[in-house]
Structure 1
């Protein structure tokens, strides 16, 4: 479970990921969104999991956090379609998560404890953590993920060279 926040822009963060993560990360994103919706008593499509994972907690701390993750998930699915010429199985689940959140907000069922975008949770070994979470995730990606990463269907980002 993770959110590879390798860029402040959720779309660029998604597009930057290697092919393997473009396949895998939409599921983890859908799970985090669904888990948080379930905690608010809203419609969700996946069974809740990892309630107390730092990334799941981060996503429910503020509206902007939730929306960052939602845009990131939608962008992961869009990138998946660009690279593999098919629709990811989680795309509809991620899209429905936004509808569920909007319904919950209209009904007053959702409260966020923080305002604005809060610092990203850094779910990584201590050796990669730093004050700037984007730089931390880039360092983590380069230090722990490049050994298997490939960008056959998308360009390797400059920071990963």
Structure 2
């Protein structure tokens, strides 16, 4: 469970996700959003709209999503952007997109109102930075370089530069 916070703009962040994460993070994002609904509003809306069951309720990312409406909104926008990115890269619609894009657009009724705060840095300590965006970029360079590739997108410049910097 994680939120790869690679850019403040969810659309740009989705484009910078490597292929493996475009596929995987659609499901993880949906699980966190569904869990927010179930934890905050109970099961009625969730069951009526066939939302996923609770997942990793106490994970820092899952707690972050339900801690404020703007956090929920960011992850929902990232979820939609990842779904759009999946369609762009692979020419098909992800099953989770078909099932949950519409019902997850509704913010949980009982979510606290508040300003957006950066997602938690769920990564090894050696990657953590003052800037959450920089931390996730470093996490990619340090921990994801062995499988990171981008279909129909150029490799992000920060990734190329990070590989050069940390290879020396």
TM-score by length of 1: 0.90
Superposition misfits of 4+ residues, deviation over 3 angstroms: none
Q: What is the match of residue 56 of structure 1?
A: 62
Contact 1:80 1:88 (8 Å CA) reproduced: yes
Does residue 159 of structure 1 match 2:158? yes
Equivalences for residues 1-150 of structure 1 within 5 A: 1-40=1-40, 41=42, 43-44=45-46, 45-92=51-98, 93-99=100-106, 101=107, 104-105=108-109, 110-112=110-112, 115-150=114-149
TM-score by length of 2: 0.86
Q: Write the distance in 2 (CA, Å) between the matches of 1:24 and 1:51.
A: 19
Q: Write the distance in 1 (CA, Å) between the matches of 2:154 and 2:38.
A: 36
Q: Which runs of 5+ in 2 are unaligned?
A: 161-168
The aligned length equals: 153
Q: Write the distance in 1 (CA, Å) between the matches of 2:81 and 2:115.
A: 21
Q: Write the distance in 2 (CA, Å) between the matches of 1:60 and 1:94.
A: 18
Q: Write the distance in 1 (CA, Å) between the matches of 2:137 and 2:102.
A: 27
Query: Higher Cα Rg: structure 1 or 2?
Result: 2
Residues 64-73 or 86-95, more deviating:
86-95
Structure 1 residues 91 and 125: alpha-carbon distance in aligned structure 2, compared to 1, 3 A threshold: same
Q: Write the distance in 2 (CA, Å) between the matches of 1:155 and 1:85.
A: 18
Contact 1:65 1:118 (8 Å CA) reproduced: yes
| Residues 9-52 of structure 1, C-alpha deviations (whole Å, 9 max, x = no match) | 11111110111111111000000000110002152310101101
Q: CA deviation at 1:151?
A: 1.1
Q: What is the match of residue 165 of structure 2?
A: none
- The two structures, once aligned, show a CA RMSD in angstroms of 1.3
